[in-house]
Amino acid sequence: HYILGIETSCDETAASVVKNGTEIVSSIVSSQIQQQKQFGGVVPEIASRLHVEQITLVIEEALREAEIVPKDLEAVAVTEGPGLVGALLIGVNAAKAFAFANQLPLIGVHHIAGHVYANQLMHPMEFPLLALIVSGGHTELVVMKSHGSFELIGETRDDAAGEAYDKVARVLGLPYPGGPQVDRLALESEQSIDFPRAWLEADSYDFSFSGLKSAVINYKHNIEQKGEQIDPQHVAAGFQQSVVDVLTVKTVKAAKQFDVKQVIAAGGVAANQGLRKSLTEALQKEGIPFYVPPIALCTDNAAMIAAAGYEMWKSGVRSDSTMNGRPGMPLKSWNY
């Protein structure tokens, strides 16, 4: 069974063909990073315009590379939300048109369910599992007891992890997107500044990253007041250690409490080398299997949307032609 996946929630225009929810047959990602870089972030209006330019080409390329025609497909899965409304609409409308023209079922996928299901492209999911979702807009711990069942046990109370990375990168004068740059500096650094860790209440699986961001800003300010310069490497290393420590400790604790069969990481920040290493080591010590997709499947792509779409399709989930982009769409279970 072939599913066509389409993703346009932020600044990647992506289309992919996935076989049986597990095998990537083609995956095309057209990134706007080069165009958005000059603005230091994603400008929504520009994102929409570039999606319009790219979407048809990207879908055609995904089909061509997969060497299939539309009638070989079982369904079209598209990111319905959350994301930038103007960006989502481009993908949703392209998916609707494609599904209608080829008489295929249409499936609206939650972007974060997509990030989670990127894992299914690498290894079979075993339940119950714990998913650590760390991306540009989300930081969540989710327990899954079966396919399509999401129980939120913790989330950020302010900034998402990726957002904190991007903001700290800006403070350090690094180009957008800052996450990979901070990661690189941190890895190269031999020293690190000691920044606070936001543990919150002892029994909480919630996160907070805005205090850490402020600590970095204050640190820079204080050093510069003395007429000195900060060492960006030491700051990056200290910031990353604080983020990675909290994410690792809470993930391990939750994995034990919920007695899960595996832990998976998902989302753009799961590409972080420091986090991957820390989680691997900590969960290995506990004897809990840990999986994280390759970097290209952690950041936004359409293969993950097709993978999630396949599970939804199997469960009988369908959208209709009234589907719209939903910028604030909540992560809801489709199986109970």
The contact set with ligand ATP (CB under 6 A) reads 9-10, 83, 111, 115, 135-138, 162, 165-166, 177-180, 183, 267-269, 271-272, 299-300
In the complex, the smallest distance separating the C-beta of residue 196 from Mg ion, rounded to whole angstroms, is 29
The count of other CB atoms within 10 Å of the CB of residue 321 is 9
Piece of the chain touching Fe ion by CB under 5 A; list 129-137, 194-202, 205-213, 220-228: 129-137
Residue by residue, DSSP assigns 282-302 as: HHHHHT--EE---HHHHSS-S
Is 179 annotated among the ligand-binding residues? yes
Is 300 annotated among the ligand-binding residues? yes
Q: Counting contacts by CB under 5 A, is residue 74 touching Mg ion?
A: no
Instruction: Give CA 153 to chain center in angstroms.
Output: 18
CB-wise, 10 or 131, nearer to Mg ion? 10
Interior/surface letters 288-303, b for 16+ CB within 10 angstroms, e for the rest: bebbbbeeebbbbbbb
Is 110 annotated among the ligand-binding residues? no
State the binding partner of 271 from ligand ATP, Fe ion, Mg ion, none, CB within 5 to 8 A by kind.
Answer: ligand ATP
CB-wise, 111 or 276, nearer to Mg ion? 111
Element (H, E) at 110: strand 106-110
Pairing of strands 139-144, 129-134: antiparallel
In the complex, the smallest distance separating the C-beta of residue 267 from Mg ion, rounded to whole angstroms, is 11
In the complex, the smallest distance separating the C-beta of residue 132 from ligand ATP, rounded to whole angstroms, is 13
DSSP letter, residue 167:
H
- Going from the C-alpha of 278 to that of each of 143, 167, 247, 315, the distances in angstroms are 20, 23, 9, 35
In the complex, the smallest distance separating the C-beta of residue 300 from Fe ion, rounded to whole angstroms, is 4
Instruction: Give CA 116 to chain center in angstroms.
Output: 8
Q: Counting contacts by CB under 5 A, is residue 59 touching Mg ion?
A: no
Is 91 annotated among the ligand-binding residues? no
Is 272 annotated among the ligand-binding residues? yes
Is 136 annotated among the ligand-binding residues? yes
Report the residue number whose CB is nearest to ligand ATP: 268
Residues 6+ apart with CB under 8 A from 316: none
Q: Counting contacts by CB under 5 A, is residue 10 touching Mg ion?
A: yes
Q: Counting contacts by CB under 5 A, is residue 300 touching Fe ion?
A: yes
Binding test (CB under 5 A) with Fe ion, winner from 13, 16, 135, 301: 135
In the complex, the smallest distance separating the C-beta of residue 135 from Fe ion, rounded to whole angstroms, is 5
Q: Counting contacts by CB under 5 A, is residue 166 touching Mg ion?
A: no
Residues 6+ apart with CB under 8 A from 113: 148, 150, 308, 331
Q: Counting contacts by CB under 5 A, is residue 11 touching Mg ion?
A: yes
Backbone torsions φ then ψ of 281, nearest 5 degrees: -65, -45
- How far apart are the C-alpha atoms of 156 and 3, rounded to whole Å? 33
Total number of residues that touch Fe ion (CB under 5 A): 2
Is 42 annotated among the ligand-binding residues? no
CB-wise, 105 or 268, nearer to Fe ion? 268
In the complex, the smallest distance separating the C-beta of residue 117 from Fe ion, rounded to whole angstroms, is 12
Pick from 137, 41, 130: nearest CA to 330 = 137
- How far apart are the C-alpha atoms of 120 and 127, rounded to whole Å? 12
CB-wise, 96 or 115, nearer to Mg ion? 115
Phi-psi region of 246 (alpha: psi -120 to 50; beta: other; left: phi over 0): alpha
Separation of first and last alpha carbons in the chain = 24
Is 137 annotated among the ligand-binding residues? yes
List binding-site positions for Fe cation.
111, 115, 300
Please report, in range form, the residues annotated as the binding site for substrate: 133-137, 166, 179, 183, 272
Which residues make up each annotated binding site? Answer: 111, 115, 133-137, 166, 179, 183, 272, 300
Residues lying near Fe ion in the complex (CB under 5 A): 135, 300
